[in-house]
Structure 1
Amino acid sequence: MADIETSERGSALWIRLNRPERRNAYDAAMAGAISDAIDDASRYRSVVITGVPGSFCAGGSLGSLATPSVTEMRGLYRSSLRLFDSIRNCPRPVIAAVNGPAGGGGNELVVACDLAVAARSATFGQTGPRVGSSPVTGATNVMGVQIGEKRAKELSMLCRRYSAEQALVMGLVNEVVEDDDLEAAVVRWTEELAALSPRYLEITKVSSNLWWNSARDSFANGLGMLVQAIGSDDMIEGANAFMEKRPPQFPDPS
């Protein structure tokens, strides 16, 4: 099974995440495949990222957190950062078509995209401290610019789930539509973008990356701290609790 499916729809490149057995959670190889597709998309007028039916993206695959390898985890962290950078460095607008749960790195994927349209059944939220990790590549920094610092800390620290309507009110997405209307709605967005100047859209996008670029050092520093925490009691307990579908029992702070 291919990790992603790509197709041309009019002037847009559609990238569909295709790992339904793990809710489209990505490992390093899958993140690399998405990045490669985005990096090769300059001939299109826009790019759409969505998932196979049932899920948008559950973020980074958590299976490796229970028995972590420093090399493997470093690769996952670096591939996540490359994915989000590819979205921001793509000269074309990138739209998240959120067709299901966007959790953890999947929520940060929405943060990284230029625009987002959500199906009414979609949900949003971070998972980091609940599963023995931290959302350092967007949720702890850039998301605060998008939805406000206090609300971003609520998402990042408390790991609650939010409906599509709540995400719209917060400013995390641009539009909410009925589930059956999602792809048609996103096509309308891509057609509207196709009528505009690609040159000046690129200039607009590059200029809008001010806050992303300012937070870039924060991403690198945060990932460095995550690397140092690989194999910690909190990481292993969080991952095992998630996979065993039970509340985590984290050790007391020392």
Structure 2
Amino acid sequence: MYFEDINYEKHEGIATITINRPHVYNAFRGLTIRELIAAFRDAWDDNAVGAVILTGEGEKAFCVGGDQKQKAGEGGYDDQGGLGMGIGLEVENLHQTIRNIPKPVIAAVNGFAIGGGHVLHVICDLTIAADTAKFGQSGPKVGSYDAGFGSAYLARIVGEKKAREIWYLCEQYSAEECKEMGLVNKVVPQDELQDAARNWAGKILEKSPTAIKMLKYSFNADSASITGISQLAMGSLAMFYNSEESEEGKNAFLEKRPVDFQKFRS
């Protein structure tokens, strides 16, 4: 399979999906989302694959969310056939694919996991982080949000108060801080990250695939109601991207100037 924005390989029952846009800190555009979905579905259909590792190219970033330079057109990230008005549908589809694939997904966070990239690791079954990794939200700073799994499911992991802090303040947290709050399972030195992820994937491969599948379904069942919330949230997000308020967030980011949301409070 040929991909432009990601690398995808399968070896000894482990599928590794790497977001390969290091020049923009592995930010995603429409094409990236579609390729991620295709790779996860291939791993889903391959009975020889028992675990999936999701990571980012290089040492600087896992993923920093949507590429703001591609945030154009009607309501979303627009490249050649980009997300456009379909942003909610395509990102939501990726989230559901990661949750529903009947095989554990391990996020190997090698650097910044910010914004939509932070949501991706939250949705993964397990997270192993490099000791240099940084985590946090940026949505409200740039005129965006994830009011579905990125917030509601996050609250189930770290608690309501901490989740609100993460979203309202948009600060960054170290890998160790995230481990303390239950958002990260394990922290390792940067040069040991991929080996640690493969080690855990290998341990999963030693287990009963049916047992693992049913356990994942059971874990997911408790938070399945968030799916409906996510659909509403992504639908509203597509409309919000057409607003002047959202444009102010994007433009301030691209122009490297302080954002001014005060005029939207009147």
Shorter-chain TM-score range? over 0.9
Q: Indicate the residue corresponding to 1:48 in structure 2.
A: 53
Distance 1:70 1:98 in 2: 29
Question: Does structure 1 residue 3 correspond to structure 2 residue 5?
Answer: yes
Secondary structure of the residue aligned to 2:35 is helix
Q: Kindly, what percent of the aligned residue pairs are identical? A: 37
Distance 1:3 1:111 in 2: 21
Report which stretch shifted further, 25-34 or 221-230: 221-230
How far 1:252 moved relative to its partner? Answer: 3.9
Contact 1:139 1:152 in 2 (8 A): no
Distance 2:64 2:43 in 1: 24
Task: Provide runs of 4+ in structure 1 moved above 6 Å.
Answer: none
Q: Deviations over 1:11-61 (max 9, x none)?
A: 200001101111111112211111111111132010000010021001122
Contact 1:64 1:73 in 2 (8 A): no
Q: Structure 1 counterpart of 2:29, which letter?
A: D
The TM-score normalised by the length of structure 1 is: 0.95
Distance 1:211 1:61 in 2: 32
Q: Structure 2 counterpart of 1:139, which letter?
A: G
Question: Does structure 1 residue 192 correspond to structure 2 residue 203?
Answer: yes
Secondary structure of the residue aligned to 2:66 is coil
Q: Indicate the residue corresponding to 2:265 in structure 1.
A: 253
Secondary structure of the residue aligned to 2:61 is coil
What residue ranges of structure 2 are gaps of 5+ in the alignment? 77-82
How far 1:244 moved relative to its partner? Answer: 2.0
How far 1:243 moved relative to its partner? Answer: 1.5
Equivalent position to 2:234, from 217, 223, 229 = 223
RMSD (CA atoms) = 1.5
What residue ranges of structure 1 are gaps of 5+ in the alignment? none
Equivalent position to 1:34, from 31, 36, 45 = 36
The TM-score normalised by the length of structure 2 is: 0.91
Report which stretch shifted further, 68-77 or 29-38: 68-77
Distance 2:139 2:232 in 1: 16
Distance 1:252 1:87 in 2: 36
How far 1:74 moved relative to its partner? Answer: 2.3
Contact 1:56 1:99 in 2 (8 A): yes
Q: Structure 2 counterpart of 1:52, which letter?
A: E
